[in-house]
Amino acid sequence: MKYASEAILGAALGAAVDGMIVIDSAGVVQLVNPACERIFGFAASEIVGHNVNMLMPEPYHAEHDRYVQNYLATGARKIIGIGREVKGRRKDGTIFPMDLAVGEARDGDQRFFVGIIRDITARKEADRRMSELQTELTQISRLSDVAEISAALAHDINQPLSAAMSYVQTGVRLIKGNKDPQQTVTLLEKSVAEITHASQVVQRVRSFVGHGAPQRGTANVGTIARETVALLDSMAEQARVRLDASIPIALPEIYADEVQIRQVLFNLARNAIEATKDSSVREVRIEAEHGADGFVIVTVSDTGPGIAESVRTQLFKPFVTTKPGGMGIGLSICRTIVASHGGTIEALPRPAGGTEFRVTLPITATEATHGS
């Protein structure tokens, strides 16, 4: 069958879920199917015979004629045979996202273009909601991380405050006894240093928790690693694990959400401390290097027993845990964050025993980093 009969063509166009629209080389609509009427809210009679740009918001509305002319003159394909996401405008003026694929047909020396339109409002909305939920989940997880190490943090705050209190008390006694004022000044200065220390801990926790809304900018892996070490210092000390970071000064900055990258390093380092606490050698290191292809490679390595066989293949899936009170979401959140930055994360066994988590992060923004 060379040509489908009009009846067959009509049935096909009528049954199609996607909108279909045929225009001539001047952009004038020749034909629309019922799905197209549903999507745009116009009756076919209101569209056919008019310029197709009536279905487009600016800037497409003003520029469409020029797009078509440009294609006819140069043959340079911007959308034909490629397809892309564009915006449509309904009869009621609302603008919506749609996938548009365009094919070209010739009839004698007449040229026509066939557009296939899929309204992706629902998909976009679901994507948006999903990324909103993911952001909320990472935020909740940060709060629960802080809650988990709260005993160690309370110690970090209490200790300098108690020291400051006893300096001040001694200072008060000296003043009452009319003793050497210089000694009192020294005590007060010491107490200021202790209070500053306590307030830095509070500040560190506040920046760890963040504000919720993801925010990307240039970030320094060295700074993030040092802050992570400071946050986990007491926890490591209690577990008698040596925790340190060694990051070269010349490491390029990355384009990232600092709060989220801190969360990744925190999760990896905390897991590493927990895994290492019963080993004979107890060391956790955060290191970084400038990798090839515009990536920074950050590794968190430990001298623990390695990844348990039972979780090895599912490590980054949610709710996978070997810990009695574990939630099993830390690594899955790490993977989500790293992937949304256009990077990768993997766990490798270390030749000398223990595990090395290796994270790559792009130095500049990539496709994936524009998404969320």
Distance CA 106, CA 53 (A): 21
Examine residue 355 and tell whether it contacts ligand ADP (CB under 6 A): yes
Total residues at the site for ligand ADP (CB under 6 A)?
Answer: 22
Examine residue 327 and tell whether it contacts ligand ADP (CB under 6 A): yes
Tokens of 229: 């070490």
Tokens of 240: 């008698």
Give the x-and-dash track for 138-177 against ligand ADP (CB under 6 A): ----------------------------------------
**Of the ranges 3-11, 237-245, 323-331, 335-343, which one interacts with ligand ADP (CB under 6 A)?**
323-331
Nearest-CA neighbor of 97 among 75, 77, 126, 71?
A: 126
Residue 333 Cβ vs ligand ADP, minimum distance, rounded to whole Å? 8
Helix axes 258-276 and 121-148, enclosed angle (nearest 10)? 50
CA atoms within 13 A on the CB side of 354: 25
Question: For residues 205-264, which are near ligand ADP according to CB under 6 A?
Answer: none
Residue 283 Cβ vs ligand ADP, minimum distance, rounded to whole Å? 12
Nearest-CA neighbor of 142 among 263, 269, 228, 225?
A: 263
Distance of CA 285 to the CA centre of its chain: 25
Closer residue to ligand ADP in complex, CB, 219/331: 331
Distance CA 287, CA 269 (A): 11
Which amino acid, residue 107?
D
**Of the ranges 48-56, 222-230, 233-241, 317-325, which one interacts with ligand ADP (CB under 6 A)?**
317-325
Are β-strands 110-119 and 242-246 bridged in parallel, bridged antiparallel, or unpaired?
Answer: unpaired
**Of the ranges 92-100, 232-240, 245-253, 267-275, which one interacts with ligand ADP (CB under 6 A)?**
267-275
Nearest-CB residue for ligand ADP: 330
Question: Do the Cβ atoms of 275 and 268 come closer than 8 Å?
Answer: no
Residue 212 Cβ vs ligand ADP, minimum distance, rounded to whole Å? 22
* Burial (0-12, 13-18, 19+ Cβ within 10 Å), 147: exposed
Examine residue 302 and tell whether it contacts ligand ADP (CB under 6 A): yes
Examine residue 311 and tell whether it contacts ligand ADP (CB under 6 A): yes
Examine residue 323 and tell whether it contacts ligand ADP (CB under 6 A): yes
Q: Could you list the residues that contact ligand ADP (CB under 6 A)?
A: 267, 271-272, 275, 302, 304, 307-308, 311, 315, 320-323, 326-332, 355
